[in-house]
Structure 1
Amino acid sequence: MNDKKTPRRQFTKQLALGSLLVPTILYAQNKSGSGAVIVGDGEHTYECLHDWGLDSLPAQHQYGWTSNGVALDSMGQLYVSHHGAPGSIFVFDQAGRFVRELASQHRVKEEAAGHGIDIRTEDDGEFLYLSPDHASMAFTKMTLGGEIVWQKGKSDLEKDSGLKLSRYRPTNSSFRPDGGYYLGDGYGSSYVFEYDKHDSFVRAMGGLGNQDGKFNTPHGQWLDDRDGTPKLVVADRANQRLQWFAMDGTHLKSVGGFVKPADIDVQGDWLIVADIGASVTVLNKDNEIVAKLGHDDEWEKRVMDRKQNLRGKRPEWVAGLFVHPHDACFDRDGNIFVSEYVAGGRVTKLRKV
């Protein structure tokens, strides 16, 4: 669904493709005749539906400063965390209709502080793991209905780890196959904290640095089990790379080639990276970049130029191109939902063609 109140320029011709180091289709013209822009090519071809669900938001509901995270429950409902009002999460059904708002406790005065959001099915139901983007707030586990199960703030992490955290601003969480989980203090200490299935502290990984095993803004993480061996993969944003770790915390490898990798999801053989550098990047099982969806090199230069402030200039956005992807997740049908760090928020559904 599109925001009918705001005009946007339409890009009507295919951008010329330059010399590429990887087999990447940056942008494709409309092939379906539906009026929607088609991005990608071959197995990675999608209809690009910007502002999905936006028209269904009730009055006084807005993404505000940004839309941050996306996650799907077992019914296919989409949960979007944001910095707007009210609450800090909007929930939509599969058709893009607004269902409810949640997590009003994650607010600073009049502004929500929703950031990282992930959902896991456990023995006694489905649960949200939330990382509010504010130093005064705590990682939170809550039911899909909004009941808080536990919270872990700065003092809890310091007590558990024995570390003194001069900075603390949580960004994202992820899950282990044994029932444990990780909590990432991405905007704060640059540690990723591991807990077991009994909520007992295991280890603190990383800390600030650019060496292998260290992080500079570990913004998001996920479980990568594409080769049958589960590993933790971390979006080490300011170091412009992904890092993989064994389940015992041992560093395995680092892969560069990103602008500002923000978060990760995995389905089948594919790993996707929401990159603030104007792309949703697709990696194969060998962790080679095979596609950059909604991306163009010249457009990337524009959106990464802070002086132009394109994140706040919706009339200048181009259909079929991303501004600042902040999170992305697959649904069960292989479609991809993307949230962006832009003023007023934007959720895009990439419908697999």
Structure 2
Amino acid sequence: MYLNRRTALKLTGAGMLGAMTPGLSFGKKEEIIIGHNSNQYKVRMNWGMLDAGQNPVNNCHEMVEDAKGRIILLTDETKNNVLIYDKSGKLLESWGNSYPGAHGLTIGGDGSDQFLLIADNTRSQVVKTDLKGNVIFKIDYPKETGKYDYPKQFVPTETAIDPNNGDIYVVDGYGLNYVIVYDQHGKYLRHFGGKGPADEQFNCNHGVLFDTRKGQKDTLLITSRQDNCWKRFTREGTYVESIDMPGSFICRPVLRNNNLYGAVYRSTSEANEFSGYIQIVDKKNKVVSTPGGSQPSYKNGKLEEQKKQDPMSVFMHPHDVYVDVDENIYVAQWASKKTYPIKLERV
């Protein structure tokens, strides 16, 4: 049963609940604090809440930040596919009514030349727009690969932009699980991967990121969500390693400084509507904090299986995170009863 914050405090008391749940505590004025070690956060449940009659959301899929410091949210609600907030959670702008399968959101370019890549898995397209929503070009299903017979086989979930030359990497997470590479103008270049059990294949390649941290040589991190891991590849498509997160159905990797962040929409042991937590991975590929989940523990160098550990039910299927310059985390959620994003304020 869902135990909301007010009910939980009434039934158990803040001190008892915090004692029962490592990684969850209360600060001043009964603030909820989640996370582990040095990565702990105050929960701001109402950060992105708006008037649902004016600016509704359905599934809140992904978030990015533009050069002006605005937080851009993508939802598959066609009354306003894109909601643009300031850091306080105030709505600044909204647009978009033609993306019924809006799923992946990537920002590229610099300054006034910034643009968005929207992966729409209903339209079977990736669409490049400016920050006002004007369409620049579209990428249709990749028939050039010889792997796709018709458009609906292509169900793109995410994109990444090569920081060196602007090439676009598209992951087909809900389709045939290929990674398809295009130049900056949308011209097909190559592909790799596909669905399967081998190291170089995927089982729901849901997200993709260029890892630009020192020592990674601009490698790609690509989700294999049903395998509970991220996989590292060269930009040409050669498999390098896996970052295993047993029990965690992890979504796309997000980079801030030397840490990787990812939303887990559910764990292996729990698949109810109040599932999910956040993973924080350090530069050594070790999970150091799991806000909303069990404390990360390693045995013989391997991460032990994790699960949700949050009686306050802060999360409902986290789908993506954005991490700002102050390392605050903004959480967009899927199948969450049309709720708005949550902010986790770094302690």
TM range (shorter): 0.7 to 0.9
Shift of 1:268: 1.4
SS in 2 for 1:219: coil
Deviations 1:213-247 (A, max 9, x none): 10111111111122342110011111221100112
Match of 2:314 in 1: 321
One of 189, 194, 198 as aligned partner of 2:181: 194
Give the 5 Å matches for 1:230-245. 230-245=218-233
CA contact (8 A) 1:326 1:338 kept: yes
Measured in 2, the distance between the counterparts of 1:74 and 1:58 equals: 27
Deviations 1:275-298 (A, max 9, x none): 11212111111111111112249x
Match of 2:262 in 1: 273
Identify if the C-alpha distance between structure 1 residues 9 and 126 changes in structure 2 by more than 3 Å, giving closer, same or farther: farther
Measured in 1, the distance between the counterparts of 2:115 and 2:312 equals: 35
| TM-score (norm. length: structure 1) | 0.81
Identify if the C-alpha distance between structure 1 residues 165 and 260 changes in structure 2 by more than 3 Å, giving closer, same or farther: farther
Measured in 2, the distance between the counterparts of 1:91 and 1:249 equals: 34
Shift of 1:263: 1.1
Identify if the C-alpha distance between structure 1 residues 8 and 164 changes in structure 2 by more than 3 Å, giving closer, same or farther: farther
Match of 2:143 in 1: 158
Measured in 1, the distance between the counterparts of 2:61 and 2:314 equals: 18
Measured in 2, the distance between the counterparts of 1:329 and 1:137 equals: 25
Give the 5 Å matches for 1:61-210. 61-64=55-58, 66-107=59-100, 113-122=101-110, 125-134=113-122, 136-154=123-141, 157-159=142-144, 161-165=145-149, 167-178=153-164, 179-210=166-197
Identify if the C-alpha distance between structure 1 residues 36 and 123 changes in structure 2 by more than 3 Å, giving closer, same or farther: closer
- Give unmatched runs, 5+ long, in structure 1: 1-5, 18-25, 108-112, 303-316
Identify if the C-alpha distance between structure 1 residues 319 and 189 changes in structure 2 by more than 3 Å, giving closer, same or farther: same
- Quick one: which amino acid aligns to residue 266 of structure 1? L
CA contact (8 A) 1:173 1:184 kept: yes
CA contact (8 A) 2:61 2:75 kept: yes
Identify if the C-alpha distance between structure 1 residues 234 and 165 changes in structure 2 by more than 3 Å, giving closer, same or farther: farther
Identify if the C-alpha distance between structure 1 residues 77 and 301 changes in structure 2 by more than 3 Å, giving closer, same or farther: closer
CA RMSD of aligned residues (A): 2.5
Shift of 1:89: 1.6
Identify if the C-alpha distance between structure 1 residues 211 and 29 changes in structure 2 by more than 3 Å, giving closer, same or farther: same
Measured in 1, the distance between the counterparts of 2:208 and 2:278 equals: 15
One of 237, 243, 247 as aligned partner of 1:255: 243
CA contact (8 A) 1:175 1:223 kept: yes
Measured in 2, the distance between the counterparts of 1:347 and 1:87 equals: 15
SS in 2 for 1:202: strand
- Quick one: which amino acid aligns to residue 35 of structure 2? G
Measured in 2, the distance between the counterparts of 1:204 and 1:181 equals: 11
SS in 1 for 2:143: helix
- Quick one: which amino acid aligns to residue 40 of structure 1? G
Match of 2:282 in 1: 284
Match of 2:299 in 1: none
Identify if the C-alpha distance between structure 1 residues 282 and 72 changes in structure 2 by more than 3 Å, giving closer, same or farther: same
Measured in 2, the distance between the counterparts of 1:325 and 1:15 equals: 25
CA contact (8 A) 1:295 1:321 kept: no
Identify if the C-alpha distance between structure 1 residues 272 and 165 changes in structure 2 by more than 3 Å, giving closer, same or farther: farther
Moved more, 123-132 or 177-186: 123-132
Match of 1:295 in 2: 293
Give the 5 Å matches for 1:15-94. 16=20, 27-31=23-27, 33-54=28-49, 56-57=50-51, 59-64=53-58, 66-94=59-87
Shift of 1:255: 2.3
Runs of 4+ aligned residues of structure 1 deviating over 6 Å after TM superposition are none
Identify if the C-alpha distance between structure 1 residues 230 and 114 changes in structure 2 by more than 3 Å, giving closer, same or farther: same
- Quick one: which amino acid aligns to residue 25 of structure 2? Q
- Quick one: which amino acid aligns to residue 16 of structure 1? M
- Give unmatched runs, 5+ long, in structure 2: 267-275, 296-305
SS in 2 for 1:238: helix
Measured in 1, the distance between the counterparts of 2:249 and 2:264 equals: 5
- Quick one: which amino acid aligns to residue 178 of structure 2? Y
Measured in 1, the distance between the counterparts of 2:7 and 2:44 equals: 15
CA contact (8 A) 2:263 2:321 kept: yes
- Quick one: which amino acid aligns to residue 197 of structure 2? N
Identify if the C-alpha distance between structure 1 residues 319 and 126 changes in structure 2 by more than 3 Å, giving closer, same or farther: farther
| TM-score (norm. length: structure 2) | 0.83
Measured in 1, the distance between the counterparts of 2:192 and 2:67 equals: 31
Identify if the C-alpha distance between structure 1 residues 219 and 139 changes in structure 2 by more than 3 Å, giving closer, same or farther: same
